Amino acid sequence: MNYICIECGSKFPLESNAWKCSCGGLLNLEYEKKPIDFKSTAAARDHSLWKYIDALPFEKYDCWRGITLGEGDTPLIRIEGNLYAKADYYMPTLSFKDRGAVVLISMAKKLGAGRVIADSSGNAGTAIAAYSARAGMKCDVFVPAATSDKKIKQIEAHGAAIHKVPGTREDTAKAAIDMAESTGLFYASHIYNPLFWEGTKTYFYEAFEQLGRLMPDAFIIPVGNGTLLVGAYIAFKEMLSWGAIDKMPRILAVQAENCAPIFKAFVGGMDKVEPCKNLGTLAEGIAIAAPARGAQILKVIRESGGDIIGVSEESITEARRSLACQGIYVEITSAANYAGYLDYIKKYPELKTAKVVFPLCGAGIKSS
């Protein structure tokens, strides 16, 4: 199993703790996986993402067994007609980040790490802190100084050391990277480390299985750093190669209009993403002004025949209210996904009858 540079193809063993290539390129992961037998996983007694062990970077009996908290296998809720919501807020730390965190932290443990470094202002930090605690590892989480006390308390509750960094989200990442570089500790980054997607990809296996081994016509996917979106791409590529599907579902991505650098690059026909100014949005969890994986995200959306839109602040608030009135209480960021769906059916009326899945990424009690 190796990290492989997306620019020059250089390979780095996992033991190197590399997070970036010397050429500046970001890293993907390569390893041998076996096709999933979706008939047998559908009937598996294991109700977690670990039933897909054949396509995960671990053995059946491996250290993940002492670390799993039963993440994955979340409900698929029919909203109306052919519209479904996948409820990833039914997770140990109440967001989909647990999928990526359990895989990343289990691997850190397997590699012998005693201490890991992460940077996040929200759900990723909480998930990494929780699984590090579970794995018996120390954890340092760098957060922007402006992060709310509520989120900091949740991370600290798991015993992680908090480092508050003044300035932008990018300054926070830089501080974490500086510590990782100077200490050689494992950088448990949900953005740079491709192991994280090996967890998020299971969301798409599950949706496929839950829809009777069929993919929907489209997945609505929120995008900040693209951890769910790149997971989609990996799942689709694998499933195409296994013959489980014969075409990719469309990826319909969603950003908040007030912080939408990928949307701007997409409509401008660009291959790279220019950092934008964050004008302030309620959807803080996707407000990433300078996404490190921007070029990769653009490529994925285009290859799936997909699209991306920016949703307004009012539509996010309204979508949250509307979901709550249907018994579904999500954090504000997560309401952007339903707002995105409502905008997409205006843009593409044929989507109204198409089969579409959108995610409920985080629980309502996470935001005020």
Ligand X SMILES: *Cc1c(COP(=O)(O)O)cnc(C)c1O
Residues within the interface to ligand X (CB under 6 A): 95, 97, 122-124, 222-228, 285-286, 331, 333-334, 361-362
Cβ at position 170, least distance to Zn ion in Å? 21
**Is there binding between residue 7 and Zn ion (CB under 5 A)?**
yes
**Is 277 within 8 Å of 223 (Cβ atoms)?**
no
Instruction: Give 86-115 as a DSSP string.
Output: E-TTSSTTSBTHHHHHHHHHHHHHHTT-SE
CB of 201 to ligand X, least distance (A): 13
The count of C-alpha atoms lying within 13 angstroms of the C-alpha of 147, restricted to the half-sphere facing its C-beta, is 28
Q: For the CB of residue 62, give the shortest distance to ligand X in the complex, in Å.
A: 26
Contact between 30 and Zn ion (CB under 5 A)? no
Query: What secondary structure does DSSP assign to 121-155, as a single string?
Result: SSHHHHHHHHHHHHHT-EEEEEEETT--HHHHHHH
Which residue from 23, 145, 214, 279 is in contact with Zn ion, where contact means CB under 5 A? Answer: 23
Q: Which residue spans within the chain are E strands per DSSP?
A: 2-5, 11-13, 27-30, 76-80, 83-86, 115-119, 138-144, 161-165, 186-187, 218-222, 250-256, 307-311, 356-359
Closer residue to Zn ion (CB): 5 or 139: 5
Minimum separation from the CB atom of position 190 to ligand X (A): 7
Nearer to ligand X, 99 or 109 (CB): 99
- Using CB under 5 A as the binding rule, whether residue 5 contacts Zn ion is answered as yes
> Which CB sits closer to Zn ion, 30 or 314?
30
Q: How far is the CB of 219 from ligand X (least distance, A)?
A: 13
10 touches Zn ion (CB under 5 A): yes
Q: To the nearest whole angstrom, how small is the minimum distance from the Cβ of residue 184 to ligand X?
A: 26
Q: What, of ligand X, Zn ion, none, does residue 10 touch, CB below 5 to 8 Å by kind?
A: Zn ion
In the complex with ligand X, the residue whose CB is nearer, 57 or 100, is 100
Residue 25 contact, options ligand X, Zn ion, none, Cβ 5-8 Å cut-off depending on partner type: Zn ion
DSSP string, 292-316: TTHHHHHHHHHHTT-EEEEE-HHHH
Report the partner that residue 222 touches, choosing among Zn ion, ligand X, none (CB closer than 5 to 8 A by kind): ligand X
Residue 5 interacting partner from Zn ion, ligand X, none (CB closer than 5 to 8 Å by kind): Zn ion
Q: Which is nearer to ligand X, 53 or 85 (CB)?
A: 85
Q: Pick what 333 binds: ligand X, Zn ion, none; C-beta below 5 to 8 Å, kind-dependent.
A: ligand X
Q: What is the CA radius of gyration of the chain?
A: 19
Helix (H) or strand (E) holding 198: helix 195-200
Q: Binding segment for Zn ion among 22-30, 111-119, 272-280, 325-333 (CB under 5 A)?
A: 22-30
Nearer to ligand X, 97 or 250 (CB): 97
**Smaller CB distance to ligand X: residue 36 or 323?**
323
Compute the distance between CA of residue 168 and CA of residue 189 in angstroms, rounded to an integer.
Answer: 17
Task: Return all residues near 161 (Cβ < 8 A) that are at least 6 apart.
Answer: 138, 139, 140, 141
Q: Which residues pair with 78 in a beta bridge?
A: 84
Starting at the edge strand found earlier in the chain, the sheet holding 161-165 runs 161-165, 138-144, 115-119, 186-187
Question: Does 21 engage in binding with Zn ion (CB under 5 A)?
Answer: yes
In 3D, which of 200, 133, 142, 140 has the Cα closest to residue 168? Answer: 142
Chain-centre distance for alpha carbon 215: 19
